[in-house]
Structure 1
Amino acid sequence: MTKFPHGWLRASGRRSARMIIGTAIAALTLGAMAAPASAAGPTISTVAAGYAHTCVIRTDGALLCSGSNDSGQLGDGTNGASAGKTSPVRVGTATTWAGIDAGTNYNCAIRTDATLWCWGKNFRGQLGDGTTTNRNVPTQVGTATNWASVSAGDSHTCATRTDGTLWCWGFNRLGQLGTDPSSVYYATTPLQVGTATTWAGVTTGYAHTCATRTNGSLWCWGDSSAGQLGTGSLSYSTTPAQVGTATTWSTVAAGYAFTCATRTDGTLWCWGENGYGQLGSNTTYQTAPLQVGTNTTWSSVSAGFNTACATRTNATLWCWGNNMAGQIGDGTTTNRNAPTQVGTATTWTSNVAVTYHTCGLRTGGSLWCWGNNLSGQLGDGTTTNRSTPAQTTI
C-alpha cells in the first residue's frame, strides 16, 4: 500500500510510498552529506508503514523496523506475539538498502544492486520466494538484478523492473495479479502482467492494483466492489483497465478499498469506498475519479486503511478519513471528510506512510510518527497512541 510518482522507475504504500533505484541511491549519497536537523549521525531517507509495524532506511543504507512481529515482519530473526519491539531494531548488517514498502504483515525492499528481498507473512505466497513459509529475515525474490520499484499490499505484491515490465505475485482471488484467478488462485513467484514494457510505477491496495505507464495513463485491476478501480464499474477486473483517458497522472496510492491520485496540474482525485470520508468529500462511494476540492498545489498522496495523506507544493501535510487512533494528526480522533492540515510545519517531504498510524519525513531527514501505537509501531519506546506528530530518533 504505497504511493508512486509517474515515470519512476516508482508508485505507494501502503508509502509510500512509497522506490526508484536511481533516486534511492542519490538519496543515500546526498543524505550522507547533509547535516541532520536535530541529532548527530545518520538521518532517514525512506519510511514504510504496515498494519502495526514501521520500517525505515537510514541515509547510511541501514534498515530498521519496530512494532508487531507476529509473522517475522521486523526481519530481525525473531517472530511471535511476544517478539514485537517498541524501539527500532536493525535488520541484519547490510548497508545497501535503497527502498522499501510495507504490506499488512510483511515487507519488500530493494537494494542498491537492484535485487529484491521480502520477509514476514507469506500465507499466500506474497514474499515471492516460491513458498508459503513465513520468513523472519529478508529473503531474496528470485535472482533478477533489475528491480526498480515494489509495492506490498495485504497479501499480494507487485513490482516493476528497469526494462519497463510489471510483475505481481501472492493472492489472486479477485484478479489483483492481473490474471484470471480461475487459473492462478495465488502465485508464489513473480508473474508478468501482460507484455507491455512501458510501466512506470505500481501501487497495491487490499485486493486491487493500480499502475501508471510512461505516457501518464493510469490502469487498475482486481477488486472493484466499492469502485476502487475508478473505471465506472463495481465488477472486478482480471486484467489492467484504463482509468478514463487522461494522460496526466502523477502520483497514485491504493488504499484498503479506495484509490487517490494527483495529476500534473496539481489537482487531487479519489475514488472507491468513502465510509470514513477517505475520498476527501462528503459523498457516497465513487466508481470514477472525483476531484478533492479545487486546490491545484497537490504534489503527492499516500493511502492506507481508510485514511489518506497528501503534501502540497508548499511542503504542508494534509490528512483525512479514518481517525480512530489519531492517525490524521490533528490532535483529535474525529474522522475527517476533507483534507485537514497536520500542524503548521512547512517542511514535509513526499515520503509519508499511512495505515492506522502515520509516519512522515521532514526536510533534513527527521522522522515523525503518530496514531496507533499499541504494538510500538511508532518506535518511541512506548505503546501510547499519539494524535499529533512526535519525532522519533533512530
Structure 2
Amino acid sequence: MRHKKGRTALVVLLPVLAVAATLAVPVSAHTASVYLDGAERWTESDCEGETPIVVASDSRAQSDIYAAVTLAGVLETDCVILAGARNEDFPADQLERFGNSEGDGWIVGGTGAISETKASQLGNRDMTRIAGETRWNTTANVGRVASGKPIEASAETDSAEGFAAITASAYHNCGLRQNGTVECWGSNRSGESSPPSGAFTAIAIGVGHSCGIRENGTVECWGDNWKGRSSPPSGAFTAITASAYHNCGIRENGTVACWGLNESGQSSPPSGAFAAITTGPNHSCGLKQNGTVECWGGNSSYGQSSPPSGAFAAVSAGTSHSCGLRQNGTVACWGSNRAGQSSPPSGAFTAITTGSDHNCGIRENGTAACWGSNEHGESSPPSDTFTAITIGSHHNCGIRENGTAACWGRNREGQSSPPSDAFTAITAGGWHNCGLRQNGTVACWGLNENGQSSPPS
C-alpha cells in the first residue's frame, strides 16, 4: 500500500473504533445520511494518486460507510468512492474518480452491497474486500488493517446482516435487515412470520399478517388473508401502514389505496395527493400534500374521522380517536374522549403517537407528555428527555438522549423493564417491546408466549 505510514497513526484511531462500538450514543433516523455526509467530504478529492476505497452509498450501508471513512483515515487517503445504491449502476463520476486513483484498493461491504458484477467495472486492479456477517465485523476488520494484522476470513454475502428497521404487533414482529431481506418472529399461526425472500425497502405489520414494499415499489403481504388484507393491489408504492384488518399505501403519484376489511369504509380512501397515512382499527387518516388532514372509515358517535381544519405536520390514528401535530407545534385530537385522550396539553411538540385510549408526545425541549387513561401510570412519563417514543397496550417506551430506553405503565409482563443497552429505534407491541441496538441487533422484552420477545441474531 502506498500509505504504509498510516499504520503508525492508529495508536489513536484504534481506541476510537473500540469506543464507537460501545458508547451509548443516540442515533437519529438520519444516521445513515450523517455517515454519508462524512463520506461525501472525501468526494471533493479527484483521487489523483490516491488509494481508492469503494463503498455502497444507500441508507442500508450506514455501517459500511462508517467503516470506509474510518479506513480512509487509517490509510491517509482522500479517495472514498461512492458506488451508489445496491442494484443500481456505478455512478459515472465515481468511476472517473476511481480511474484517477493509483494502485490496488479496498471494497468495504459484502456482495449484497456491492455485487461482483458491479465490482468488475473497476477493472483488473487487486481490490481487497472486507465484509462480515454483520456490519460491525467490517469495522473490526478496519482495525485489523490499521494494526497490520491479517484480515479475518468472513462471509462476503453479508447473509446475516444486522437490522435496519423493526416493527412490532401484538404477537409477532418483523425486521428489515440491512441487505433488504425481511425476518419475522413470534406467532406464525397464519404465516405472518414467514416472509417471502427478496429485498424490501419498508415493512408494516398488523394482526396475523405482514406487508412490505419491494425495491421496485410493489407491495407484497403474507399471513392471514381474511377480507383480502394480504392481497394488495398492483402498482408502485412509496409508503404503507397496517392495522388489525386493513392496510393502506401511498402510490407514487401520491394517491392512496387501501385493502382488507371495509365494513366501515376504512379501505375506501378519498382522492387527492397525500404525504403520509395512518390506520386505526376501523378508520384511516392521511396528511395531504397541502397540509390538511382527511380521514375515512368508522366515525360512529365519536367523530374520529372528522378532523379539524388547519395545517398539520403529522397525524396519528388511535382506536376511536385521532391526533394531529399542527405546523405550529400544537396538538389537536378528535374522536372519543372518555378517558381524556382527545384533550391534549398545550404547548409545542415535535412528535406524537396514539394508543387505544391514551397518547404521548415529545415536547420541543425533549420531555415527554402523555394524556388520557392513566390506570397503569401510562400517562405519567419520567422527566427524562427523549428522541423517540412508542405506545403499547397501557404502557409506553422512549429512547433517551443517551440512547438508553425508559418505559412506564403496565409492567405485569415485564414490558416496562427494558435492558440497559443503547438503542437507535424502539417499537411497542401489545404487551412487549423491541429495540434496535446501535450494532444492528435486536433486543425484546415483555410477554413472550409466542416467541415475540425472542428475536433472531
Fold in common (TM above 0.5): yes
Pairwise CA distance, 1:73: 2.4
Pairing of 1:208-223 with structure 2 (within 5 A):
208-223=321-336
In structure 2, distance between residues paired with 1:44 and 1:36? 10
User: Does 1:306 find its partner at 2:394?
Assistant: yes
In structure 2, distance between residues paired with 1:356 and 1:245? 29
Instruction: Give 2:416's match in structure 1, choosing from 324, 328, 333.
Output: 328
Is the Cα contact below 8 Å between 1:174 and 1:223 reproduced in 2?
A: no
Question: Counterpart in 1 of 2:337?
Answer: 224
Instruction: Give 1:172's match in structure 2, choosing from 282, 287, 294.
Output: 282
1:212–1:157 CA distance, 2 compared to 1 (3 A): farther
1:181–1:317 CA distance, 2 compared to 1 (3 A): closer
Question: Counterpart in 1 of 2:261?
Answer: none
Q: Which has the higher strand share?
A: 1
Rg (Cα) greater in structure: 2
DSSP-derived class of the 1:60 partner: coil
1:260–1:101 CA distance, 2 compared to 1 (3 A): farther
DSSP-derived class of the 1:224 partner: coil
Unaligned runs of 5+ in 2: 1-28, 34-56, 67-133, 139-157, 255-272, 287-293
Question: Counterpart in 2 of 1:133?
Answer: 228
Question: Counterpart in 2 of 1:94?
Answer: 198
Instruction: Give 1:368's match in structure 2, choosing from 436, 443, 452.
Output: 443
Pairing of 1:237-276 with structure 2 (within 5 A):
243=344, 246=347, 248-276=348-376
Pairwise CA distance, 1:218: 3.3
1:28–1:175 CA distance, 2 compared to 1 (3 A): closer
Instruction: Give 2:235's match in structure 1, choosing from 143, 160, 165.
Output: 143
Is the Cα contact below 8 Å between 2:285 and 2:295 reproduced in 1?
A: yes
* Cα-to-partner distance string for 1:69-113 (whole Å, 9 max, x where unaligned): 334422x3xxxxxxxxxxxxxx11221x22333334333434445
Question: Between Structure 1 and Structure 2, how many residues are aligned?
Answer: 289
In structure 2, distance between residues paired with 1:193 and 1:29? 42
Q: Which has the higher contact order (CA 8 A, sep 6+)?
A: 1
DSSP-derived class of the 2:415 partner: coil
Pairing of 1:1-394 with structure 2 (within 5 A):
26-31=58-63, 33=65, 36-37=135-136, 41-74=160-193, 76=194, 91-95=195-199, 97-121=200-224, 132-135=227-230, 139-141=231-233, 143=235, 145-147=237-239, 150-155=240-245, 157=247, 164-167=274-277, 171-172=281-282, 178-179=295-296, 181=298, 200-229=313-342, 231=343, 243=344, 246=347, 248-280=348-380, 292-295=381-384, 297-329=385-417, 342-345=418-421, 347-379=422-454, 392-393=456-457
Output the TM-score relative to the length of structure 2: 0.53
1:180–1:92 CA distance, 2 compared to 1 (3 A): closer
Question: Counterpart in 2 of 1:6?
Answer: none
* Cα-to-partner distance string for 1:371-392 (whole Å, 9 max, x where unaligned): 1111122245xxxxxxxxxxx4
Is the Cα contact below 8 Å between 2:396 and 2:407 reproduced in 1?
A: yes
1:56–1:307 CA distance, 2 compared to 1 (3 A): same
> Sequence identity of aligned pairs in percent?
27
1:50–1:99 CA distance, 2 compared to 1 (3 A): same
Q: Which has the higher helix share?
A: 2
Unaligned runs of 5+ in 1: 1-18, 77-90, 124-131, 185-191, 232-242, 281-291, 330-341, 381-391
What RMSD over aligned residues (CA atoms) do the two structures have, in Å? 4.0
